[in-house]
Amino acid sequence: MPSAVVTGYYRFSDIFFEWHQVIPNQEEISPLKALLAYDSLVHRDHPLRKEGIDGIELFMGTLHNAETRLMFSSAQVEYIRYWLHAMKLTKSPIPIPSAESLLTESSLRNVSPVVYNDAASLKKALKIIEKNNKRLKFIDDVLVGRRHMFERVRTFWSEKSSAWCAMDFESWEKDHTVLTEFGWTIHHWENGSPIVEDGHLVIEEHRSYYNGTFVPDHRENFLFGETHRVNKKGFKDIVCGIIEKWSTKQPLFLVFHDRNQDIKYLKSSDVGAQLDGLNYELPDVLPDEGLFVVDTADLFSALEGDSAGSRRSLERVCLLLGIPVRFLHNAGNDAHYTLEALKAMASGDPVDLQRDKRWPNSTAKTNGIKVEFKPWEETDDYDEDLEALMPPLKDVDLGPANETPVNDAT
């Protein structure tokens, strides 16, 4: 079989519904339609099936207006026509679709792989894509940018050729310039296999600065390894060494949850990390090197379809993603859970499909793509029985405003 090169992408709908109509030989239409049938595409013996992938790998393309398209690559289309000919199902390679229907890099903001392993999920995905494309007119530019970022993170994560390092600092609650802890979790791949490393540091000179008034102090409750107590110099050397080591031969993505304060700490005199060339925007394609920022608060904002200024806490994001957490405000634990949140979103489906799979039928009231969470999903303090017995004050009839209350005790 010839090895085809990807030069662009064809819309799934064009290949599925239109391609067979340009075939001049009527006898060759049935083999093509059979090969493109939903049940056939997801079958383990389909010629487009890739080793190690449980299902058919297609591609989700994001246009510049944030609309999405499910697509075949041009290489897949070429392979289909040559496979049909090699199997003697066609007399010659059938014509390729018109170049006018080819989507190239200039028309796509992002392309990411997506896998379907049963016909029902593939059919449902097409309906969800169509529905959400109609709703995208309600979103603003901020959310458009976050959606693009979400898909690029998914794409880069799937390539398994970079390092992702979640970081978190803890400081004294009465003076945030006094750093007390640092935690990190590094996720990278060797020969396609994931490797995760966790770490937690406590600054020896600042051990007497305890929290507990405004945030809990869990510096002794690191769950994913051993806590190392180091002096200020050792602290600085280790933090800077992590960035230097992992950004030397590959792109390094620094992952934060609500990044602003942590980046300030990296740039502070207590750390002095070399962040020259730090990129807050992700490139169109995965580079060979570079230092990039990824914020899980922004990722989750894209996923839930909300660009409001207030951001969800790490605890709330993890719980809404189904990630159980313990002993937050330990820098090592926070870094670990930040990476877990990133992984949950980056290794999942494209943003709209992932949202509908996680929280089905949750956007009907918004006339858009914003998730309307249930009260018990929004807060740990929600008590359904209590809410039923004691409705909100605005729903209770208190009687005339000037009526003198009766004192039953008398």
Domains of the chain in sequence order: 9-138 (no CATH), 158-358 (3.30.420.10)
Ranges of the chain whose pLDDT falls below 50: 1, 382-410
Q: State pTM to two decimals.
A: 0.81
Burial 227-260 (b: 16+ CB within 10 A, else e): bbebeeeebbebbeebbeebbeebbbbbbbbbbe
Report the side by side order of strands in the sheet with 110-116: 102-103, 9-11, 68-73, 56-62, 110-116
What is the pLDDT at residue 306? Answer: 87
Which two three-digit tokens encode residue 96? 């390729």
Task: Using alpha carbons only, give the angle 115, 116, 119 rounded to the nearest 5 degrees.
Answer: 165
pLDDT score of 308? 76
CA distance 116 to 252: 30
- Find, among 97, 90, 71, 93, the residue nearest to 82 by Cα: 93
Query: 43 phi and psi, to 5 degrees?
Result: -70, 145
State which amino acid sits at residue 144.
Answer: V
Do 238 and 204 meet the contact criterion of CB atoms below 8 Å apart? no
